[in-house]
Structure 1
Amino acid sequence: MEKFVMFGDTPLFYVDEGRGTAIVLLHGYLESSLVWDDFAANLKRTNRVVRLDLPGHGLSGEHGDIHTMEFLSDAVRHVLSLTNVSKCTLVGHSMGGYVALAFAKKYPELLNGFVLFHSTPNPDSEEKKALRSKEIELIQEDKLELIARTTAPNGFAQDSRKRFADFIEECVEMYSMNEKNGIIANLEGMKVREDMNEFVASTSIPHLFVFGMKDYYISREVAEGLVAKFPKAETLLLENSGHMGFVEEPKKSLEAIVAFAEKHA
């Protein structure tokens, strides 16, 4: 079922499919719920799958000049209340992982567990904030497609980009269709997001880290450092993936997430 609902004055688009233990998929920066199409098609065979376009992305509207991760998590909470999901496993890809962490801190009673899928609890460094500010300037100059053509291939391991050329082109189109004000609001939100390392270290909510060993955005060293830092976390290291493991190594990713969700349901 596909549906539009209002979250205050912000329209939200979501998809609710399948039956069983609920798994909620949160896309990353520039993406939309469409990025999960193939993964969700397999996942819904065993689970109820809810996915939405986060505010400022895809078919969902924007709300003001900044979308904090807490605001985005409230949008997720709103969709869950409307779909009568009382408990779920939350899977956040990249920026979606930041939203999942904000949700876990604010609404722990609604979670069986959460998955950081190519995402970390680290805040933006000053260097990263500067890069986001530069990206905002480019978007204001109507260069979103240029950003999309750079970002999309960088999501994949360098040695697999030719194999996923068609999907990369689909991503370029998906990214380019976003409204620029919504994307800017999300960039501003990521710049000011909270350092969640202490929360991850102290939470009793089960959590799974999924990292790609060929990730352009999260280096192998950073990934392995986080695995060592958080021994309570369950982990999946995808040896042949960049930043898009649910596309590059879908079978391993699917099996790990289904097993994690069922274990902690």
Structure 2
Amino acid sequence: MVNFIKVQEKLLHVLARQAGLRLQPVEVEPGTVMSFWVPKGKATAEENLSVIDAENLTKTSNKSREMMKKKDDQRPAVVLVHGFAFDGLYTWQFQIGALAKSYDLYVPDLLFFGLSQTSSTDRSVRFQADCMIAALMWLGVEKCTVVGFSYGGFVAFKMAEIKPDMVHSLVISGSLVARTESKSKPMLESLGRKSFAELLLPETVEGLKALLSSGSYRKFWLPNFIYKDFLEVMFSHRKERAELLEAMIVNNNDVSLPNFSQKILLLWGDNDSFFRVQLAKDMKECVNNFHLYRISLCIVSLKDAALTTEKLLFLKFMFLIQQTM
């Protein structure tokens, strides 16, 4: 029987290629491979790549990597880091086409998402960030703006802390610098869940509906077989992902806000049920160079306008990225 999400996945690959991106695996260390969609001119892997085999990974010579670094047509680099529910291409499918016209776009799959994998037992946000930095360096990226959504925002913040000379600026949506025990408990209570794994790693159609309903401002209807297809494709590596969620929560006494040197823009929705807008306000007060852009959907919804709400939000998103350059 046809899995419609797998069909959609193939279509997204076609759209990404039409936008000038190619799938590129990067072996960060033995046993750890990260999958990226990168600008065509920066890719070295075979074009029909669909599965990463760490043992037979396509490797680039030092000479080839130096050639990538020396290209004189490089545009500003933007890295889009996905959240916890979906992989990179699925998360950013509506932004890739437009952003790729103006920027060198890099769309990774974090470890245990998409085609990225590791034999390491380290599940920390720090390890994800270290692997991201190493992969971007391998790809010849020297400076970039990192856009992080949800879990990807935690990784983006950590990247900015570790490698400020690479991460020039950040655009963050629905995320925090760190998820502490004190913030996690009320968040779970408001969502009516005992653990984040219970919500973010659904095993049933009803569980997936609850996740998508909690994470979406607009409610939508899909037939149950689509939800079943989603569960089959998008929620692999359940054990490892549950460990990622556990590793995110840090003790209140172990948290200290880094002294970020980058421009950091927080893009928030007034109706975010996961990360309330007050959390963004609190972050802004703690770090002077944070700039909070609140987007209220009811304000940008224009009944008679030619631009749809989604287009208006995207134009705002493009503006935010441009402001960080």
TM-score computed with the length of structure 2 as normaliser: 0.66
1: CA distance between counterparts of 2:174 and 2:199?
25
Residue 32 of structure 1, aligned match among 74, 80, 87? 87
Residue 207 of structure 1, aligned match among 264, 286, 304? 264
Partner letter of residue 23 of structure 2?
E
- Contact 1:13–1:59 (Cα < 8 Å) also in 2: yes
Residue 181 of structure 1, aligned match among 233, 239, 243? 239
Report the Cα offset of residue 120 of structure 1: 1.8
- Contact 1:26–1:91 (Cα < 8 Å) also in 2: yes
Report the Cα offset of residue 193 of structure 1: 8.0
- Does structure 1 residue 191 correspond to structure 2 residue 246? no
- Does structure 1 residue 58 correspond to structure 2 residue 114? yes
SS at match of 2:208: helix
1: CA distance between counterparts of 2:104 and 2:165?
19
Tell me what 1:245 maps to: none
- Contact 1:90–1:100 (Cα < 8 Å) also in 2: yes
Structure 1 unaligned residues grouped into runs of 5+: 242-247
Report the Cα offset of residue 105 of structure 1: 0.7
Partner letter of residue 75 of structure 2?
G
- Does structure 1 residue 42 correspond to structure 2 residue 102? no
2: CA distance between counterparts of 1:193 and 1:87?
32
Farther off after superposition, 254-263 or 110-119:
254-263
SS at match of 1:108: coil
Structure 2 unaligned residues grouped into runs of 5+: 1-21, 41-73, 299-307
1: CA distance between counterparts of 2:166 and 2:313?
23
- Does structure 1 residue 218 correspond to structure 2 residue 280? no
Q: In the superposition, relative to structure 1, how do residues 22 and 253 fare at CA in structure 2: closer, same or farther (>3 Å)?
A: farther
Partner letter of residue 7 of structure 1?
V
Tell me what 2:125 maps to: 69
Tell me what 2:65 maps to: none
2: CA distance between counterparts of 1:13 and 1:23?
16
1: CA distance between counterparts of 2:177 and 2:295?
19
Partner letter of residue 184 of structure 1?
A
Q: Deviations over 1:73-108 (max 9, x none)?
A: 112112211221110000110111110111111001
Report the Cα offset of residue 154 of structure 1: 1.0
Tell me what 1:125 maps to: 181
Q: Deviations over 1:207-254 (max 9, x none)?
A: 10011101111223333444444453222211018xxxxxx9543444
SS at match of 2:136: helix
2: CA distance between counterparts of 1:47 and 1:86?
14
- Contact 1:208–1:235 (Cα < 8 Å) also in 2: yes
Residue 251 of structure 1, aligned match among 296, 311, 314? 311
SS at match of 2:95: helix
- Does structure 1 residue 2 correspond to structure 2 residue 23? yes
Q: In the superposition, relative to structure 1, how do residues 133 and 182 fare at CA in structure 2: closer, same or farther (>3 Å)?
A: farther
Q: In the superposition, relative to structure 1, how do residues 215 and 138 fare at CA in structure 2: closer, same or farther (>3 Å)?
A: closer
Residue 75 of structure 2, aligned match among 20, 32, 37? 20
2: CA distance between counterparts of 1:256 and 1:171?
34
1: CA distance between counterparts of 2:199 and 2:316?
38
Please, what is the CA RMSD of the aligned residues?
Answer: 3.4
Residue 156 of structure 1, aligned match among 209, 216, 221? 216
Structure index of larger Rg: 2
1: CA distance between counterparts of 2:184 and 2:229?
22
Q: In the superposition, relative to structure 1, how do residues 127 and 102 fare at CA in structure 2: closer, same or farther (>3 Å)?
A: closer
Aligned length: 251
1: CA distance between counterparts of 2:153 and 2:130?
14
2: CA distance between counterparts of 1:193 and 1:85?
34
SS at match of 1:81: helix
Partner letter of residue 232 of structure 1?
N
Higher relative contact order (CA 8 A, sep 6+): 1
Tell me what 1:102 maps to: 158
1: CA distance between counterparts of 2:324 and 2:200?
41
Work out the percentage of aligned pairs sharing the same amino acid. Answer: 20
Q: In the superposition, relative to structure 1, how do residues 23 and 7 fare at CA in structure 2: closer, same or farther (>3 Å)?
A: same
